[in-house]
Structure 1
Amino acid sequence: MLPAVVAGELLMKILVLADVESKYLWDYFEKEKLEGIDLILSAGDLKPQYLSFLASFTKVPVLYVHGNHDDCYEIQPPDGCINIENKIYVYKGVRIMGLGGSIRYKKGKNQYTQKEMNRRINKMWFSIKKNKGFDILLTHSPAAGIGDGPDEPHKGFEGFNYLLEKYKPKYFIHGHIHKSYQMKFKQEYEYNENTKIINGYERYIFEYPDV
């Protein structure tokens, strides 16, 4: 299947996953369901076996960051998938920056204070400069006050607000906030006329660039 072309640009169809293994893609899987998908992004808290399963049926990259429940990845990382924590991964010209984990609310390897996340972001400055910014910010947690939760475990990171304001990526993709947590749950919405925010809960498909 040839990629679509809009306004002289190639459209990349991207599948986003987070938090809950989709029965549509795992229990009732058919290989045809991945046809036309150009890239898979995992925003965390998914079983490594699930990501490995999907990777075995596609030739496109499966990129992931860690969720706060993904400590098992150290022992059993998802086979055939690419960890982009603290990196900018460039695929077909699209720059994807990965910063996983949640706010620290108890002991856990993939949990960070606001200051700890800020330090991670600061260490990315050279990579951001080298790549002249980034197009997609892939995280597990949301930004502070933007689609995050009222309770401590689901608060967003202030450092992500800084990244959105300064670099204005086309997309900010996160997980961590489940559909049942919000009365008016939205998976995609505009932010500051520059960035589209996507909550990848379970599964979501979008086309990049969306013009």
Structure 2
Amino acid sequence: MKELKVLAISDIHGKEGAAKAFVRDVRKRGIRADYLLIAGDIGCPEKPERGSKVLSILGNLKLEIYFVKGNWDIGLECAPPRTHNLDEEGPIKLGEYLLVGHGEKFDPYSVKGSVLLLTHYPPYGILDRGFKYEPYHRGTHTGLININDLIERYRPLLHIFGHSHKSGGVSLKLNGTTYVNVARLDRFIRNSLCIGNYSLITIREGEVKVEHFYINGVYKKCSRCNRRVLIPPSWNICKECMMSDELSVEEGISSLRGEVELEIEEIYPSGGGTLSNKRLKVRLKLPLTTIRNSLTLKELIEDTIRKEAFKVLTGRHKVAFSIPRDLLTYLYPCPADGSVGEPLIVRLFKCKRCRENRGIPCNIFKALLKRKVELFWAFDSVRGVKGLVKHRNYVLVTGKRSDGCDRTLIALIKNGFRILTAKVDPPLFEHS
């Protein structure tokens, strides 16, 4: 097979200075490549024209450019010559390989052969640390499970992505796929010096070699691993050492059974002091070849439970959303001393020492002490901020499910709450 070299970047965010600095750095280092791949966030939504300007600057490298759109690329329509939006043009043949892009669309293509995958978002659990808020969850994984599903289907040789800035400039090989996070190019320090990162990826006879570069970077010895590495002038530690916890891989995850059944049980009062329940069963296929360790698998299972529970609530109510834990101390003040808005950990310590039970606030925080729970609010009508009509409170238990409800959860049920618990069969790893 003929050798293929690609330059890969992402997350420019309309910064023309970053694009110019990248072109200069590539020329200064004498780097040669066949193509330039961009994993989204080329422009910025406030000034959509900047995206086209950035692409024009990058065109000075005289390379064919293939890109996918990111969440910042609203309004990016006009592309200069030799620039191709993969969402519009579909899979492209690059020598012996097929380049497949998914920026805004996640419906899989029917493809054969060696696939190179380009997306903006990371896969769930792989070099994706950051902050993400969804109506059913606030978490530190910015990756999308849709992309894990695409990887299971395509089994790509290489996956290039961005979006998660914290994990950018690092690569990982897992089950035959090399994952490369190329975020972000528009990194500047105080004196306006650009220290954005980019990658040169060489593919030869099915083997992938990744070299990470920093604009204006210098070679020095890492103070942790003692390797001579290229890093920004002010750094003393290489990115691999900074992100070592994100690079750990456990053997045997992909050999587990990926077909599981999720059962969500809803427990609620039925009158006369008795409890009733409903059960919903969902068949799921977990993308286990993309899961690097048991902790990530536990997080994936818990996020999947949240997502399915959220589907149940939005199918039943007009609006539903998870209440962030940090807001609970504002919404449910301490009935003993009336304190509002204190740090969550302070409130939990107080509740742990307290022997009294003064209703809903006490039961919510005692449940937090005993189990992994989340509170949902659901609304049946929305008529502006003042017109919200709260219909029901739900408590989702995402930790290990025990037989029945304990006294704390039963007390919440008696106060109008509905309890959602979940069980995965086969259990894989207990999600506790």
Q: Normalising by structure 1, report the TM-score.
A: 0.70
Instruction: Pick from 200, 203, 208 the counterpart of residue 203 of structure 2.
Output: 208
In the comparison of the two structures, how many residue pairs are matched? 172
Matched residue type, 2:173: E
Residue 40 of structure 1 aligns to a residue whose secondary structure is strand
Give 1:186 shift: 5.1
Deviations 1:108-164 (CA, angstroms, capped at 9, x unpaired): xxxxxxxxx6xx324x2xxx2xx4155111000001122223522562121211222
Q: Distance in 2 between matches of 1:34 and 1:159?
A: 38
Aligned pair partner of 1:143 in 114, 123, 140: 123
Contact 1:15 1:40 in 2 (8 A): yes
2:8 match:
16
Alignment CA distance shift 1:14-1:30 (3 Å): closer
Q: How does 1:20-169 map to 2 (within 5 A)?
A: 20=12, 21-22=18-19, 24-26=21-23, 28=24, 31=27, 36-46=32-42, 47-58=51-62, 60-74=63-77, 76-85=78-87, 87-101=90-104, 120-122=106-108, 124=109, 128=110, 131-152=111-132, 155-169=142-156
- Distance in structure 2 (CA, Å) of the matches to 1:136 and 1:144: 18
Cα distance change, pair 121–204 in 1 and its aligned pair in 2 (3 A) = same
User: Quick one: distance in 1 between partners of 2:159 and 2:75?
Assistant: 25
Corresponding letter in the other structure for 2:128: D
Structure 1 outlier segments of 4+, above 4 Å? 29-35
Q: 1:57 to 1:145 in 2, by over 3 A?
A: closer
Q: 1:79 to 1:32 in 2, by over 3 A?
A: farther
| Preserved CA contact (<8 Å) 2:68 2:103 | yes
2:56, 2:80 within 8 Å by CA — same for their partners in 1? yes
Deviation at residue 10 of structure 1 after TM alignment: 2.2
Rg larger for: 2
**How far 1:80 moved relative to its partner?**
3.0
Q: Distance in 2 between matches of 1:133 and 1:68?
A: 30
1:188 CA displacement:
1.1
CA distance in 2, matches of 1:84, 1:134: 17
**CA–CA separation in structure 1 for the residues paired with 2:31 and 2:169:** 26
Tell me: CA distance 1:54–1:151, structure 2 relative to 1, closer, same or farther (3 Å). Answer: closer
Q: Cα offset for 1:54?
A: 2.0
Most deviating of 62-71 and 155-164: 155-164
In structure 1, list runs of 5 or more residues that go unmatched.
1-8, 102-116
TM-score, scaled relative to structure 2:
0.36
Deviations 1:154-193 (A, max 9, x none): 6212121122223211001101011xx35xx65211122x
State whether structure 2 residue 161 is matched by structure 1 residue 174.
yes
CA distance in 1, matches of 2:128, 2:80: 27
Structure with the bigger RCO (C-alpha within 8 Å, sep 6+) is: 1
